[in-house]
Chains A and B, each alone.
Chain A
């Protein structure tokens, strides 16, 4: 049974739970696969460790949490240090190059670009950094098509912010491909 495990990790308030939900929704509703999203977070509304986990499979998913991670997004140094240890050999680590200065060692592929800065300066709003990161994760993992992921993004955000999110998603997708080339 194919089982693909993703973890979106960083700090509370970075929108990582939302990014995970949209990835899982893309797989489950638009891609026709099965997906489970779960999360763990601290009592703080902002700051504190936060992670969102997504399991994608062709068949039923039992254990809803990561056992051995295929793809990890780390939006803080702390998250990179804490979660890279169970990243699979040959897996992929995506980091924000401004926030994660010490790249954890391991037999996985590391892709780095300034995710938050891309949202802030190129898309125009820092708040969509999670969607930039999501676009990048979609590009790097290949679990859902670009079109299906975009549908999931656009069906998950308020009407007034559709263009902003479309741009954020596309930019993340393209930057990740450039950075991993």
Chain B
């Protein structure tokens, strides 16, 4: 039997990806250019007995998904720039209380209200540093409609596996672009369930590290009673200021993601085998980069692309390895050098990093990238 195909927008694909992953609760506050996610969810969730809530604002939406997740739901919210700023305090709450959830943020011009209908990639640092304090960060940056669908599923899986908020952040071009999508059959893509407690309620502790760095999370309403707080906590979930406990818990929360970078970090290597100039790109900009690399190859230039699919954790190891053998990096991005800074940090002076930074609401075209590739000596 042939698979179901459709001609969809990135935002629509994200929504169907979430539903494939078992999302049954959405709370959001509509905002351009992510509104289609809320629209489709409001149509689809009632059909499967799920819940759609349009909240009073982005903060309320973030709070609602955290609460629903604690009650066992698989949850999503969607937003853009200013909404992501508003959600930050509660994203931090999700990190410290270790609540699985997926935040879908479409990158538009910023800061503040910025350029609501213009594309950008300027939220990638906000994905890691937007909320205060040391915390884990996972952020996926898809580059096509099909990939947006698949990465939203992966985001749900990672959020359950590591018990932490996961961000999926297409730029506006990917979010609003339409392409053909081939839907996977049920069961074709793995859906990771939440790790349930194996102990009876009276022995249950929500942060019980005898079960490893990612302790099982019980669902409210199933007989397990436990405390959740934004304060630094003990294994039973109650607040503490005991130095050794706070230190250990903070380190564990970050370690559970950082130490598993190899499981989380994904990327595409395009024509890298003999590449002397490597374009490091992500999102829609990687599509311009691929075009430019192809033209460069036709002209006899040994160019390649390292395409970032997982922005956080950043592919440190891979960039370090490339830096040791290439003549230079070119980093095109729709911000003023956020990824370029990370590449430079990893290059450690071994290879120059040439940036192409646009924040005028226009995409970076292949010609600009090709010209920059030629500047690498």
Contacts and interface: CB of A to CB of B under 8 A. Distances in A.
Contacts of B116: 43
A29 B5 contact: yes
Contacts of B117: 40-43
A117 interface: no
B7 A63 contact: no
B173 interface: yes
A65 B334 CA distance: 15
A39 interface: yes
Contact of B179 (A28, A63, A65): A28
B7 A24 contact: yes
A67 interface: yes
Interface string A15-49: 00000010011001100001111111111000000
Contacts of A39: 176
A62 B291 contact: yes
A171 B150 CA distance: 41
Contacts of B294: 62
Nearest to A36: B179
Contacts of A42: 117
Given A25-B7, A43-B117, A65-B363, A38 B287 contact: no
Contact of B178 (A38, A43, A65): A38
B196 interface: no
Interface residues of A, number: 21
Interface string A123-134: 000000000000
Contacts of B195: none
Contact of A63 (B6, B32, B287): B287
Given A43-B117, A64-B173, A65-B363, A28 B180 contact: yes
Interface string B352-377: 00000000000101110000000000
Interface residue SS majority, chain B:
mixed
Contacts of A36: 177-179
A64 B178 CA distance: 10
B288 interface: yes
B180 A64 contact: no
Nearest to B290: A62
B7 A28 contact: yes
Nearest to A42: B117
Nearest to A26: B7
A40 B284 CA distance: 14
B291 A63 contact: yes
Given A43-B117, A65-B365, A24 B178 contact: yes
Contacts of B365: 63, 65, 67
Contacts of A62: 287-288, 290-291, 294
A33 to B, nearest CB: 10
Interface of B: 5-7, 32, 116-118, 173, 176-180, 284, 287-288, 290-291, 294, 363, 365-367
23 contacts: A21-B7, A21-B178, A24-B7, A28-B180, A29-B6, A29-B180, A34-B180, A35-B179, A35-B180, A36-B177, A36-B178, A36-B179, A37-B177, A37-B178, A38-B178, A61-B179, A61-B287, A62-B287, A63-B288, A63-B366, A65-B173, A67-B291, A67-B366
